[in-house]
Amino acid sequence: MSQFVWMLIGVSIVTAVPRVLPMMLVSRFGMPEWLQRWLRYVPPAVMVALIAQSVLTEGETFVPLHENQNLVALIPTLIAAIWTRSLLVTVLTGIGSMLVLQLWA
């Protein structure tokens, strides 16, 4: 148990510091204009990078393109997102598409 507690403390600190540090520093010292400009592109970039990671890779290897079900399920998901702009409909479409793919393919 004490082994576990040390591990827990360690991983919690190294996770919490990157989460809180920028917000705390900005609330104290503000942020230069060029950085704000740059950070405007970070949200779409991070989210697209996370999509690419979960769609294209499995563990530390690429999923071969010709057997990548994620890419197929991505098409109706993307259409649902653009068409409805609803997060819930998009998520349900994605899950539904993947379910159909796994039953039929």
Residues 77-96 that bind another protein (CB under 8 A): 77-78, 80-82, 84-96
One of 52, 67, 68, 104 touching another protein (CB under 8 A): 52
- The answer to whether 41 contacts another protein (rule: CB under 8 A) is yes
Least distance (Å) from another protein to the CB of residue 67? 15
Output the smallest distance, CB 68 to another protein, in A. 12
Where do the H-state alpha helices sit in 30-86?
33-39, 42-56, 69-84
Please give the Cα distance from 39 to 99 (Å, whole number).
36
Q: Which amino acid is at 62?
A: F
Element spanning 62, H or E: strand 61-62
Residues 15-34 contacting another protein, CB under 8 A: 15-16, 18-28, 30-31, 33
Distance CA 40, CA 50 (A): 17
Q: How far is the CB of 45 from another protein (least distance, A)?
A: 4
| 71 binds another protein per the rule CB under 8 A | no
Structure tokens at 85: 């702009």
Residue type, 5: V
